[in-house]
Amino acid sequence: MSSLSRLKASPALVVRALVALAAAGAIAAAVTALATGRVSRGAGFAQEILVLAVVGALARRYGIPLPGKGFTSYILGVTAYAILDRGWPLGVLVAPAAMITGDLALRRLPAATALDNAAHLTAGSAVAGLAYARLGGTTGPDALAPDNLLPLVTLLVLLPCIVNGTFYLQLALGRAIAWVDARLTARWEAVVYVCSFGLALGWLAVMHANVGGIRLVGIGAALLGATVASGPVIRRAVRADELALIQDLSQAIARDISLAKSFQRIQELARRLVPWEHMGFARYDAASNEMELVADTAATDHGRFRFDALPPRKYRLRITPVPNRRATTPVFYDLTLPAAASRSRTFGQTYNILISGRVFEDLNSNGVIDAGEVGLASVTVFVDADNDGVPDSDELSVLTDAAGRYAITALPSGTFNIRVHTTSSSANTVPGSGRRTVTLSSGQVAANVNLGQRRIA
């Protein structure tokens, strides 16, 4: 596939490519602006890039994973600081340096992911930083002046909206699980961002403070303490939020001990915590070493289920009866699972009814299979819908096997007249009409619907 048609096929790739282009353009523009002196660098520019890149990388390292693929950190506060301190070019240069160092070197993410994250941060910082400059936003200590409030608030709002907006848009278009609980993701992205922005303003005030000596050291130490301590506090709060979801989940299970009944609610709650394909509900009985599939957790994933991280041993994998359905495969499998191995088994379920039995040679004509009475092979058994005793073209018919057995499987619930298609050399015994009538609801089974025949000499 050419790269152009791949772009057409995937809207997520289009977003990714546009963001990467915007980031590359922003870096080129920042370098040009600084090289031509259109934007003055000021003293200590290179050192500040270096320090902010290290701080930003550490922010990524100690960031907070959110349920799903979300990940939030103070890095937006670091780029906000860069923009407020020396304008958008510093923000645009700090963003990729910090993100790539943090995600690649400290978080050990794949290079493509780190570059992708860097592109979103760089492009978003450029747009928000340029908007800030366009609104007359001032840099350095003046950024905190009361008359800079409008540009400051604009930057506060634009920066996360653009960076997170393009990031989550790309995830959603790529059908990756961008968030499993959107409210939880949005809440914590916002809390972490506002906190990091507040710290950025605090650091800006400290770095440009007119106080000297011991007071500055004291304020700096307090701010450093707040910066370092706030991370674990937020991390615990996110965890508490997740635990609240788990508590809802356990209450849903406890309210009604029948998982099958409360399954929809459980599904709804569980999918907010973890990507769906990794879910499985099983009841494990250590005494019998049986693993029972209690509920199909992956109804939206073509019925796939999985059990991860089981210790190596023998298992019985069993499915519980599903209301109004019958099994079309074994209802349990015995598996021996060596370490690090995986096994795959299928459970079939259908709403269709099942009628089965034998056509047999009824030597004593009593309608019962007695000793010495054998099955009749290749006899036609049919469902006589119009009850005229004749197999019509629109009526379902099957042939008996070598032992005289038949099975009618492909019908939904209803009332059925089962008959043998008698020939000139055979007749029904009991009942004399040859008709056996069964009424079955969805998924029900009628076995031993036997049909006695005798030979006519």
Q: Does 386 bind Ca ion (CB under 5 A)?
A: yes
Per CB under 5 A, which of residues 46..105 are in contact with Ca ion? none
| Amino acid at position 48, single letter | E
As a whole number of angstroms, the distance between CA 331 and CA 326 comes to 10
Q: Is residue 384 near Ca ion by the rule CB under 5 A?
A: yes
HSE, CB side, 13 Å, CA atoms: give it for residue 42: 12
Residue 94: strand pairing partners: none
* Residue 443 Cβ vs Ca ion, minimum distance, rounded to whole Å: 26
215, two tokens: 């007071």
CA 155, CA 135: separation in Å to the nearest integer?
Answer: 10
Q: Is 392 in the site for Ca ion (CB under 5 A)?
A: yes
- Specify burial of residue 53 (Cβ count, 10 A radius: 0-12, 13-18, 19+): buried
d(CA 219, CA 211): 10
Interface with Ca ion: number of residues (CB under 5 A): 10
Nearest CB to Ca ion, comparing residues 107 and 405: 405
Q: Which stretch binds Ca ion (CB under 5 A): 297-305, 321-329, 336-344, 377-385?
A: 377-385
What minimum distance in Å lies between the beta carbon of 13 and Ca ion?
60
Q: How far is the CB of 431 from Ca ion (least distance, A)?
A: 13
- Residue 364 as a binder of Ca ion (CB under 5 A): the answer is yes
**318, two tokens:** 């069993």
Q: Is 370 in the site for Ca ion (CB under 5 A)?
A: yes
Asked if 433 is part of the footprint of Ca ion (rule: CB under 5 A), the reply reads: no
CB of 415 to Ca ion, least distance (A): 14
CB of 382 to Ca ion, least distance (A): 7
Angle value at C-alpha 258, between 256 and 264, nearest 5 degrees: 80
Q: Quick check: 116 binds Ca ion (CB under 5 A)?
A: no
Is 428 a binding residue for Ca ion by CB under 5 A? The answer is no
Residue in 386, 293, 270 with CA at minimum distance from that of residue 348 = 293
Q: CB-based contacts of 75: which residues, under 8 Å, 6+ apart?
A: 56, 59, 60, 63, 95, 98, 99, 102, 121, 196
- Asked if 431 interacts with Ca ion (CB under 5 A), we say no
At residue 208, the 3 state secondary structure works out as coil
* Residue from 388, 432, 441, 456 binding Ca ion (CB under 5 A): 388
Shortest distance, CB of residue 427 to Ca ion, whole angstroms? 14
Stretch that binds Ca ion, among 86-94, 330-338, 392-400, 433-441 (CB under 5 A): 392-400
Which residues are at the interface with Ca ion (CB under 5 A)? 362, 364, 366, 368, 370, 384, 386, 388, 390, 392
